[in-house]
Amino acid sequence: MPARCLPPALEAFAAAHLGQGLRARFCGWDHAESSVWVLEASGRRAFLKAYHQPRKFRQEERAYRAYLPGLQKWVPELIAVCEAPAALLLGARPGALVQSAALTPDEEASLYRQAGAFLRALHAQPLVEHDPMPLAEALRRRAQAWCERAHGLVEAELVDWVRAQAAEAAGLARAAAIPRVPTHGDFTPRNWLVSGGALYVIDFEHAKADLWLTDVLKLWCTAWWARPDLARSFFVGYGRSLTALEEALVARLAALHALSTVVWARAHADVAFESQGRTLLARLRGDRFC
């Protein structure tokens, strides 16, 4: 469980930028990947995000400094960076989380169009990081790591099937020579805010140079199964649809995503999330590849 009281060092850091009379309320998740507080001082509202993993701190900082300055209508303002302890002070955007908002079908369609437009703009930003490892090899290593961690949690035969799907994905990525682009890394409605019909995007701790399809993968695995109309709205905003090769690649990447969901959820004692991963594994194997 993350510490819910704002540490004195972070309180002083925030007060230096927001003013005195600081009030803090913990509003993060219980998975302890990071700690988040909503702050108010001198009539100003902001969020402070403290990181327990240096890699995620650097990824989110790089996203705000390198990729998001031209996308300010969609994202919070970066107010300040604290190096020790690692934290970002971010401006508050209005609105409620999309995943818990009561929306009409037209409002949903509009938000998914905006989500597509945001991703297209993000993916078009020039890369400031360059991974020398070929993308296909990175996919292979990623699959190997998750499959090893799944030992004892998922049936060996199913793990082998996921490994085979990942190998096919690596082959498709190699054949298509798809380049890396700046990605959000966790692009789902739980990281979207809506206010007055406008979409705002938060939580860039997973942002990195990657295959652009990783940013549609979670939507493909969840909302789009039951609501293909939302996929159509998204791709109107993105400016194009998936090619047949890209559709095949996403379907195979989904198998690895489902397995990693099970492993991550078990490590974090998230029973509901683990169930989602297992359901997705069963659905993919039964509906897509048999």
Rounded CA gap, 247 and 45, in Å?
Answer: 42
Domain boundary among 69, 91, 113: 91
Domain boundary among 38, 71, 91: 91
**Judgement on whether residues 42 and 165 belong to the same structural domain of the protein:** no
Rounded CA gap, 40 and 22, in Å?
Answer: 6
**Judgement on whether residues 189 and 278 belong to the same structural domain of the protein:** yes
The pLDDT of 203-215, averaged and rounded, is 95
Number of domains in the chain: 2
Average pLDDT, the chain: 92
**Judgement on whether residues 196 and 235 belong to the same structural domain of the protein:** yes
Is 17 domain-assigned? Answer: yes
Rounded CA gap, 290 and 284, in Å?
Answer: 9
**Judgement on whether residues 187 and 115 belong to the same structural domain of the protein:** yes
Q: Output DSSP code: residue 127.
A: P
- The domain that holds 22 is classified in CATH as 3.30.200
**Judgement on whether residues 52 and 178 belong to the same structural domain of the protein:** no
Rounded CA gap, 56 and 179, in Å?
Answer: 22
Is 2 domain-assigned? Answer: no
The pLDDT of 177-196, averaged and rounded, is 94
Tell me: pLDDT of 20 over 60. yes
Say which residues have a Cβ less than 8 Å from residue 77's Cβ, sequence separation at least 6. Answer: 90, 91
Is 170 domain-assigned? Answer: yes
The pLDDT of 226-241, averaged and rounded, is 96
The pLDDT of 32-61, averaged and rounded, is 93
CB 28 within 8 A of CB 38: no
Residue-wise pLDDT for 68-100, tens only, equals 999 999 999 999 999 999 999 999 998 889 988
Is 1 domain-assigned? Answer: no
CA-based max dimension of the chain: 62
**Judgement on whether residues 253 and 187 belong to the same structural domain of the protein:** yes
**Judgement on whether residues 85 and 102 belong to the same structural domain of the protein:** no
Per-residue confidence (pLDDT) for residue 31, from 0 to 100: 61
Instruction: Output the CA torsion sign for 61, 178, 229, 118.
Output: positive
**Judgement on whether residues 124 and 243 belong to the same structural domain of the protein:** yes
Output the pTM of the full model. 0.91
Domain boundary among 50, 75, 91: 91
The pLDDT of 263-273, averaged and rounded, is 92
Residue-wise pLDDT for 115-149, tens only, equals 999 999 999 999 988 778 888 888 899 999 999 99
Is 3 domain-assigned? Answer: no
Q: Which domain holds residue 28?
A: 8-91
**Judgement on whether residues 182 and 266 belong to the same structural domain of the protein:** yes
Rounded CA gap, 253 and 13, in Å?
Answer: 41
The pLDDT of 4-22, averaged and rounded, is 93
